[in-house]
Every structure is written in structure tokens, then in C-alpha cells.
Structure 1
Amino acid sequence: MSDTRSFPTLSVQTLGLMFISGALATMAFDLWGQLISPALGFATLSPHGLARSLLGTFGLPNGDFAGYFVHFYLVGLIGYPVGWLFIFAPLWRRVFGRGRWLLSAAAYGFGLWVFAIGGITAIAGLPFFLNFSGITWVALAGHVVYGIVMVAAMRMISGNRR
């Protein structure tokens, strides 16, 4: 992407960038939330459970497969990378300029946490921010990790241009 454009071109390369960085970030999120966090005595994340609750709210099939599909594929590989590339990063660059990628990635992860744990849980009929229980804070760390890993992977793949 050149410095004169706000958005990346929609191409096979952009889709590959989204899928690879999203996959790595989702794996980091799940590694943190389902293995490292519980091993340290903190809560265990169940993001597919949130997806299942949301699907059930809309009367859609909400079995395990559907929950994992929404969490990994629709959100991790498509939704969150699209949000970065086409919404957050262009706005960040417009307000703060280029640079400070680690700060912008962490801020994006924080925003994902607010969206998922503050918004999606409410739509799914769950308590606001899950009553600020232990899972809330593990999810905060997980979403920030997701944002950092995704942006770091995008930068590495694209030669530090994003």
C-alpha cells in the first residue's frame, strides 16, 4: 500500500495477509486463553461459547462446530483483520500518522475487547462485560495479544509497510 492511499487494495495478496495474520493471531489468542492463562491459575477463555450464545440469540444453529467456525474463521481470519485494514488502521494513520505500530495494535486489541466482551456479550444476553469476572480480564489480555500478533505478522509479511 502506498502512502497516498488510505486503504489497501482488495487482492489475493491482501486476502492472504488477512488469513495468515488472522490465523497466527487467533492461535496466539487461544494459546493464551485456553492453555497459558489456566496454567497460571487464571480463567479459561471459551470464545466459541460466546459465538454459540450469539448464534442462539438469533435462532441460528449454535452447536460446537458453528461456534468454532464463527470464532476462528469469520472473526479471527476475516472480521478482525478487515476491521484493522479497512477501518482502524486508516483512521489511526489519519489522526496519529504512521509509526507507533505497537501502540496502535494494542489499542486495536483493546477496542476488540470492548466490542466482544462489552457489546457482543450484551447482544447474546450475557452479563455486561461478564460481570467483570476473571474471564473479562483474561479476555482483555487475549484481545490485546491478538491485535499485537496480527499487526506484527502483517508488518513482517508486507515488509513493515503497514
Structure 2
Amino acid sequence: MTKTTAAARLLAPMLIAGAFATVMFDLWGQAISPMLGYARLSPDGLARSLLGTFGLPNAREHGQFVHLLPVGLIAYPLGWMLIFRPLWERFVGKGGWFVPSAIYGFGLWVFAIGGITAIAGLPFFLDFTGIAWVALVGHTLYGIALVWCLRRIGSR
């Protein structure tokens, strides 16, 4: 297999599953959660805060771009495919996908709402307000949707 073929076999599933999981995250956080009376997520706002911390352009479209492309379609899927899943299989074993995908989503929440917020100068875990809990569900849903989609399209 050539390097180009190997990259394409990784890239296509990563982008498809990342897009699907991001849509599920945003559907939950920006539509369903507010309809149920809970907080509305604004992931582009967190991205904007982070960009501003580093003195980078941080208009709304910049935050949306960061949330969608480098994070939702690239970084989070790669984190599953190249880091978390191989470590899980090595230390816990193969078999089952739901539990590790939910744990991965929880880890994304800790990373984003616990870590990135602190770097961006926002309150740690957003002071555990309603948005933090909606984000927990959203990130966990993202992890589950990502892995479900990867399995459906035949890429682990």
C-alpha cells in the first residue's frame, strides 16, 4: 500500500465520522438542549476566547472554523484513531466500542471544558454551571457518534 493510499484510508473515514459527530454535538448543544430548557452551547465562543488569548483573529467565523475543522473534523477523530483506541486496546483489550467511546468523549470534555477554558482565561470547568453539564453530554455524545460512524463505514 502506498503512502497516499494509506493516508486516504485514514483521511476519508476521519472526516466523515468527525463531521457526523460534530453535527450530533451541535444538534444536542445548540438545538435539543435549549429546547429542553437547558443551556445552549457556544463552542465557537470557547474557540474565540482561545484564539484571543494568543492574539489571533477571533471573530465569530474564526471560532466556528476552529470548532468545525481542526477540532471536530481532525483533532478529535485523530485522538481516537491514533491515541485513545490503540492505548485502550493495549491496556484494556479489544472488544466492545460503546464504553471506550463514551470514556473518550468524557476525556474530551475534561480537555475542552477543564483545560482549554483555563488556557483561554475562562473559569475552570466554566464554574460547573449548566453549560458545563450540557457540554459533558455533548462531548460524550461526540465520542459515541464518532466511533459508531467509524464502525459503520468500516474504519476502526
| TM, length-normalised to structure 2 | 0.95
CA deviations 1:19-61 (Å, max 9, x no partner) are: 0000000000000000000000000000000000000000000
Matches within 5 A, 1:13-92: 13-92=9-88
CA distance in structure 2 between the partners assigned to 1:100 and 1:19 by the alignment: 23
Residue 119 of structure 2 corresponds to residue 123 of structure 1: yes
CA distance in structure 2 between the partners assigned to 1:55 and 1:11 by the alignment: 29
Q: 1:141 aligns with which of 137, 146, 152?
A: 137
CA distance in structure 1 between the partners assigned to 2:96 and 2:129 by the alignment: 31
Q: CA deviation at 1:10?
A: 4.5
Q: CA deviation at 1:95?
A: 0.8
Matches within 5 A, 1:103-118: 103-118=99-114
Q: CA deviation at 1:65?
A: 1.0
CA distance in structure 2 between the partners assigned to 1:95 and 1:45 by the alignment: 34
One-letter amino acid of the counterpart of residue 112, structure 1: L
One-letter amino acid of the counterpart of residue 118, structure 2: A
Number of residue pairs matched?
A: 152
CA distance in structure 2 between the partners assigned to 1:31 and 1:46 by the alignment: 12
RMSD: 1.0
CA distance in structure 1 between the partners assigned to 2:101 and 2:151 by the alignment: 11
For structure 1, the 5+ residue unaligned runs are 1-8
